[in-house]
Amino acid sequence: MQSRELVGKLQQIGFREYESKVFLALLKGSALSASDVAKKAGIGRTAVYDILKSFVERGFCNEIETNTILQYSIIDPRIIGDKIEREINKQNSEKVECLKETFKEFETLHNSEKSVEEGNVNIELIRGFNKHRQAKFVELLNSAKQEILFMIRLEGYVSEEIDMTAKSFVKNGGVMKSVYEMSLNFKVIQENSRKNATVKDLIRICRAFEKNGEQIRIYKKEIPNMTIFDNSTVFINIPDKNVPRHNNADIIVRNANFASRMKDLFNFYWEQSVTLKELEKLN
């Protein structure tokens, strides 16, 4: 009796049910006729002929011609395993390539048709946390043309993609001003280990940002985590320690009047903040 478990395993790697049964019948026998295979596999002879022909074409078994009938003999299972592995790798490679080409075409279709109603929507809520969370923020960075105003707290991982985008923005004539909160809620790598950040680390990191053309000041108290793009769009991060991280949210407001009021708020914090040179003197 054929093992259901073995049939199931063969189906997992791409064999159909009848193919699995024929394969096991050949595996246990030596040189078998189509009738012998059908009997051992417990399936009709008509179905067996097509499967055996397919196995011969794929190089799984040899077809032996005798004076009376054709017989079939399976080859070394290790060789078959290698053949199937190559087939799977080739199929997966082709699928991945097709995936890349297809979704590259999708980029031109993305948001290509906007309704009148959609143009009136000026508030967007982004809820949850995943590895693509920063994508929306990077999208706003890439679309900015004139001015970006940050109010931000250094914590966690600072994306290299964002850094390079910011550097390119300033290089192309954009103005980037940032007010960083005087927070040490991040870690630095020293001597191949993570250590709590110090004020000197904060200054050193901000100095590196300044080299990219960013104008920086430090505010000693908490500030809203907010970015204003081109006096027209405001990105607000709303962290809440009482809410699970995956339920935190960001808000994007596309409204010039609101952006103008938030710029006034930014300028207030900017005037109340200290420069890096002043912070160095205080420490």
What amino acid occupies position 153?
A: R
Q: Tell me the C-alpha distance between 229 and 149, whole Å.
A: 7
CATH 3.30.1360.170 fits 4-77, yes or no: no
Tokens linked to 155? 């914590």
- Kindly list the domain boundaries of the chain, sorted by start residue: 4-77, 120-282
pLDDT per residue over 238-262, tens digit each? 766 666 555 667 889 999 999 999 9
Phi, psi angle pair for 226, to nearest 5°: -145, 150
Residues 6+ apart with CB under 8 A from 161: 134, 138
Residues 6+ apart with CB under 8 A from 106: none
Residues 71/55, Cβ–Cβ less than 8 Å: no
Residue 129 has, within 13 A of its CA and on its CB side, a CA count of: 10
Pick the CATH number of 120-282 from 2.40.50.420, 3.40.50.300, 3.30.870.10, 3.20.20.80: 3.30.870.10
Q: pLDDT above 70 covers what percent of the chain?
A: 82
Kindly report the pTM of this predicted structure: 0.57
Q: How confident is the model at residue 267 (pLDDT cuts 50, 70, 90)?
A: very high
DSSP-derived 3-state class of residue 230 = coil
